[in-house]
A and B are shown apart, each in its own frame.
Chain A
């Protein structure tokens, strides 16, 4: 699994990091850590565009989005 830590980063860095990771994943799972609802929604969008499934998990105040 590819892990990306985008917590605390400004827009649109989490989205760009998730996009890069998904592009280079060759179908492997990508897990993106983010710390805001905005970044969570943006990363979910990345998955939707790549036609991949996204599962969101709350980790305290953070979120982990697993792109399958």
Chain B
């Protein structure tokens, strides 16, 4: 168990998750989209008819696997704890805006890394925005940003999202109620059982190793701690090898699958994701892992992402993928339309307002003894409630 807190263990977990990603890519998931929290939640929203963008509708077993994998390992290792109450509606908004940002860029931070490992230079440009977003979030944390504490809740509450997803998967596999794309990314997928098994393993590993694409950079900024970057480095290395071996590696801006070269919007899209992730205490993937281990606040963030994805496609906010001209169609530069640009910029403003509005006053003035005294009082008051 200590393995997961040691550098070697974290790097090893990254390598294993990387192999999982390579398997998903090999078995038919969309190009440079072996696993993506944002795209796959978006596909799920489409399959549930929350939006009707025909190419991106499929009930992704990976999403179920990530949440349920985290749930099962947390129960098995006594880390499952049903909690709620840390500014849930604020977290819903954070999830919503993270999803808009991710869909303008076309990928969550995990897909950013997968795209980087395939030589997609647009993703390297996006990384700049992500780093800046995380750095902005770290500044708020330094000033004492907090969404407040969560509390224990009825034990069953934390199991609701995992159970709902399992029911959804059963319906998806056993019936034709949910929509499946006939063309486009939604039509490309690994066989459901393989996708589920890989995602269960990845979800469990992510829970044990606390994998988070925001926390690695955030800790580097805040406390010069680079350990949480190790799992990500492991995944990156495996995916570079996979892409080189399969001829999928191509170092360029143009001709990259499900991507666009609107640099400003790639940067701003991932800026919103980085900032939102630090304010929410974890990237989109991490939110699903937290939801699996019983955090109802994580589950609310997930719902925010699901609704955000529906809005992104119902109102044309998502970035379009670039495409070369064909006999029938003209070339498409891709990127977000004006509506997407406007909503994203407004979303970033909302993130900054959320950041500023939740800075605790006492922290700014904190002299050490005052900081020590106040929580001690709280601890005494709260102690009976905790038992």
Residues of A within 8 A of B (CB): 2-13, 15-17, 19-21, 23-25, 33, 35-38, 41, 44-45, 49, 59-62
7 residue pairs from A and B, CB less than 8 Å apart: A3-B375, A3-B376, A12-B141, A19-B223, A20-B368, A61-B152, A62-B386
- Which residue from chain B places its CB closest to the CB of A6 in the assembled complex? B375
A12 in contact with B222 given A21-B372, A38-B210, A62-B386 (CB within 8 Å): yes
Most interface-central of B79, B223, B282, B366 (chain A CB within 10 A)? B223
A32 to B148, CA, bound (A): 17
A4 in contact with B375 given A13-B146, A20-B366, A24-B368 (CB within 8 Å): yes
Instruction: Give the top 5 A-B pairs by smallest Cβ distance, nearest first.
Output: A24-B368, A8-B149, A10-B281, A3-B376, A5-B375
A8 to B294, CA, bound (A): 13
A10 in contact with B86 given A36-B81, A60-B386 (CB within 8 Å): yes
Count B interface residues, CB 8 Å.
37
A16 to B79, CA, bound (A): 22
The distance from the CB of B322 to the nearest CB of chain A, in whole angstroms, is: 36
Cβ contact within 8 Å between B147 and A10? yes
Residues of A within 8 A of B85 (CB): 8
Residues of A within 8 A of B378 (CB): 5
Cβ contact within 8 Å between A7 and B382? yes
Residues of A within 8 A of B152 (CB): 61
Cβ contact within 8 Å between A41 and B386? no
Residue among A24, A41, A60, A62 making CB contact with B5, cutoff 8 Å:
A41
The distance from the CB of A60 to the nearest CB of chain B, in whole angstroms, is: 6
Most interface-central of A8, A15, A17 (chain B CB within 10 A)? A8
What is the 8 Å Cβ interface bit string for chain B, positions 338-382, against chain A (1 contact, 0 not)?
Answer: 000000000000000000000000000010110110011011001
Most interface-central of B147, B148, B372 (chain A CB within 10 A)? B372
A9 in contact with B149 given A4-B372, A20-B368, A21-B371 (CB within 8 Å): yes
Residue among B281, B371, B376 making CB contact with A11, cutoff 8 Å:
B281
- Which residue from chain A places its CB closest to the CB of B81 in the assembled complex? A61
Cβ contact within 8 Å between A20 and B371? yes
A6 to B141, CA, bound (A): 14
What is the 8 Å Cβ interface bit string for chain B, positions 221-238, against chain A (1 contact, 0 not)?
Answer: 011010000000000000
Residues of A within 8 A of B60 (CB): none
